[in-house]
Structure 1
Amino acid sequence: MSWLQQRERGGAALRLMGWIARVAGWRLSYALLFPVTAYFLLTAPARQKEAVRRFQRRALGRETGWRDLWRPYFAFAATMLDRVYLLRGQTTGFRITVSGLEALDAKIAEGQGCVLLGAHLGSFTAMRALADGCAGRRCPVEVMAFMYEANAQLANKLFSALSQEKAQLVVPLGRPDSMLRAKECLERGGLVGILADRRPAVGEDRVVPLPFLGASAPFPAGPHILAAVLKAPVMLAFGIWKGPRRYEILFEPFADRVVLNRASREEDLRAVAARYAVRLEVVARAHPENWFNFYDFWEEMAEPAAAAAPARGPSVARRAALGLPLLALPRLARAQAQPETGGLEAVMAALSAVRRTEAVFEESKSIAGLADTLSSSGTLRWEAPSTLEKRVVYPFAEQVTVSGARLVYERAGRERQEVNLDQAPEVRALVEAIRSTLAGDLAVLREHYEVGFSGSLQDWTLRLSPLSMRVRAVVQRVEVQGAAGRITRFETVGNESSVMRISYRS
């Protein structure tokens, strides 16, 4: 069973513990961790406990008992309690030691942004507290964490309420602007933290099977592809829980830059992911009670008869703007426009005359660093003045609907996501590339793009070059082909490129 399928537990208990921690203080709250841990351990699903035991047998090299099983549950509860205080800046009584900080300091001194690869091992909040000066020295640059939070919404909502300022520095993966924010943080010389041990990961569900504690385990390729795209130095970082209010932060150089050569991409990707898995294994063996992957990490346990594995596909971050690319790119030069005003205006008039239409599409997507191409098909529905629906029927069912300033993404078995385009200008620009073209609204297109035109009314091509630097960090160009008032081909070119071929039902 995937960790995404595990139901979040203990919402009421979390709220109660949060209230006790704020009102009664740390000592009483810590004492309550013992009965709380006992409750969660006793009521944990049998599959979850078996998954923990399998990790422990491999990490410890022996059979395990209830005391071994108790330790990760208690350590996790302790880090959750400490998180309440660390997020509120109440660090009195905490002892945080650091190893390997010199290498990170050198990167910061050079003004380089840096990617910190971590894992669901220990506490990222402790590293956040280190950046805030808990160990006696404040980090001189911003630190932003990127995490997949879909299965911990209750906890995340509670902790976000404790510190809105720090909550802004934790960015859930799967949002349309996630990768843009990572790129901008690095350009400012900041630190970007990514947990690289679970799938789905950044921008891609693809995994690399690698040896880990004596057996093959699936590791996400996404974080390493992202590091290669961002062209930033990479370090490993772990916040190890050592006991009551005690943490050790470990930093370790990993790569000056992750390089995936075109001729040996698959081998390079596997090699860099394998290096990460080897180092994670060392830390996991040394601190097994800090392993907080309470699920079948090796994906070797038989599924219950009633459980259906979720369909896997590209992440929401690559779908939310109707299939337009949402991964960060280096800045690229703006394409030269080729205006032919008369022909362009005639095409826009023909498009604007179509008030409602339905079509079928076939789309292929490719991602820099990956050999695979993802194919999909489905239907498109356009209704003037502003409603566009893209419904995928193969290889999985999902739907993206844009109406006015609202974008809604829906997929069976996953949370419905909504984006306000007024608050996401980069996403709006990507949406308008196809919507404003369908609407024949040249004025809106020119708000976001330099518009180049070639051809005639019966066979035309639009070349859209983003005006915004932020949008150019996402997509190099958009090319739209059509005949009269119909679009027949829609292509985006960037780190994630896609080609959509459209045919009409009538």
Structure 2
Amino acid sequence: MRKRWRWLPACLLAIAPSAWAQAGPDSDAILRALARPVPAATPFVEVRESPMLKSPLRLEGEYRRPDAGTLVREVRKPYVETTTLRDGQATLARAGKPERRFALSRAPELAALQNSFGALLAGDATALRAHYTLDAQGTRERWALRLVPRDRKLAARLRDLVLYGSGDELHCIVTTPAKGDAQRTLMGSAAEAATRAGETADIAALCRDGDIAG
């Protein structure tokens, strides 16, 4: 069950353009750019690699935040599945199967991520630092922000999250578990570019550089 929820860090970091006065990489400025009023939605393309898979698993869909306390992850390809996070509960709906519900408190690492949700939506660097150490690198035109969990239980599952972007736009989130392969999640225009390109998309380049063609 835990592998299913490896997408959660990514969904908490959906981004929209906002004012950025910093000339270089600054974690506070990057986090301010993460703040986005609700309702909001952003497309995503997620690629998972594993020795257990003959080829990488590619998921396409959309993250939606209908209100400040709700997050919806809607997978549209290669299957249809909707996951809703609200009030500390997770609800999983998939065609042809009974709806599943469970409390996020059952998984300490998910509870910690849920606590970070409000901080990310508000662009609150102080609150986010309660859960992660932050390290920004690069330039305004090409920046990276690394988040390393402080909580031991979370760190036992998650090594780090690295956000890649340029200016006010987030291109990609790389989620690296404590064990196993990293997972790339393209967001916004980078996800749209990957969808247009289909199976020929260079996921690594889009993650690093975004949709250069614009």
Q: Return the TM-score normalized by structure 1.
A: 0.31
SS in 1 for 2:110: helix
Which of the residues 453, 467, 483 maps onto 2:136? 453
Partner of 1:425: 108
Shift of 1:438: 4.4
Partner of 2:90: helix, strand, or coil? Answer: strand
Change (3 A) 1:503 1:353: closer
Deviations 1:453-475 (A, max 9, x none): 12455543221112122212212
CA distance 1:401–1:477, change in 2 (3 Å): same
Partner of 2:201: none
Q: CA deviation at 1:365?
A: 0.4
Q: Is the 8 A contact 1:410 1:417 kept in 2?
A: yes
Q: Higher relative CO (CA 8 A, sep ≥ 6), structure 1 or 2? A: 2
Query: 2:85: which partner in 1?
Result: 402
Structure 1 equivalent of residue 60 of structure 2:
377
Q: Distance in 2 between matches of 1:384 and 1:460?
A: 29
Number of equivalences? 175
Give the Å deviation of 1:391.
0.5
Counterpart secondary structure, 2:60: strand
CA contact (8 A) 1:390 1:400 kept: yes
Structure 1 counterpart of 2:20 = none
SS at match of 1:367: coil
347-356 or 371-380, larger mean C-alpha shift:
347-356
1:328-370 deviation line (CA, Å, top 9, x unaligned):
xxxxxxxxxxxxx982222222322544432211111023554
1:253 counterpart residue number? none
**Cα-to-partner distance string for 1:159-199 (whole Å, 9 max, x where unaligned):** xxxxxxxxxxxxxxx3xxxxxxxxxxxxxxxxxxxxxxxxx
Q: Which residue of 1 aligns with 2:5?
A: 320
Higher strand share: 2
Q: Is the 8 A contact 2:59 2:75 kept in 1?
A: yes
Gaps spanning 5+ residues in structure 2: where? Answer: 11-23, 193-214
Counterpart in the other structure of 2:162? 479
Separation (CA, whole Å) in 2 of partners of 1:481 and 1:432? 23
Tell me how far apart the structure 1 counterparts of residues 104 and 172 of structure 2 sit (CA, whole Å): 24
Identity of aligned residues (%): 24
Partner of 2:19: none
Cα 1:469–1:478 change in 2 (3 A) is: same
Aligned equivalents of 2:136 and 2:56: distance in 1? 29
CA contact (8 A) 2:88 2:104 kept: yes
CA separation of 1:405 and 1:491: change in aligned 2, threshold 3 A: same
| Structural RMSD (CA) | 3.1
Contact 1:433 1:478 in 2 (8 A): no
Higher helix share: 1
Q: Deviations over 1:209-257 (max 9, x none)?
A: xxxxxxxxxxxxxxxxxxxxxxxxxxxxxxxxxxxxxxxxxxxxxxxxx
Partners in 1 of 2:108 and 2:129 — Cα distance?
A: 14
Does structure 2 conserve the Cα–Cα contact (< 8 Å) formed by 1:407 and 1:419?
yes
Q: Secondary structure of 1:453's partner?
A: strand
1:390 is displaced (CA, Å) by 1.2
State the partner residue of 1:344: 27
Give the deviation of 1:319 after TM superposition: 2.3
* Equivalent-residue separation in structure 1 for 2:91 and 2:57 (angstroms): 22
**Higher alpha-carbon Rg:** 1
* Residues 292-333 of structure 1 deviation map (CA, whole Å, 9 limit, x = unaligned): xxxxxxxxxxxxxxxxxxxxxxxxx322353569xxxxxxxx
Q: Does 1:502 align with 2:187?
A: yes
How far apart, CA to CA, are the structure 2 residues paired with 1:439 and 1:396? 32
Structure 1 unaligned blocks of 5 or more:
1-173, 175-316, 326-340
Residue pairs, 1:482-493, within 5 angstroms: 482-483=165-166, 486-493=169-176
- With over 3 angstroms needed to count, the CA separation of the structure-2 counterparts of 1:434 and 1:453, relative to structure 1, is farther
| Residue number among 139, 147, 154 corresponding to 1:464 in the alignment | 147
Instruction: Find the counterpart in structure 1 of residue 74 from structure 2.
Output: 391
Flag the 1:345–1:324 CA change in 2: closer, same or farther, 3 A: closer
Contact 1:388/1:435 (CA < 8 Å) preserved in 2? Answer: no
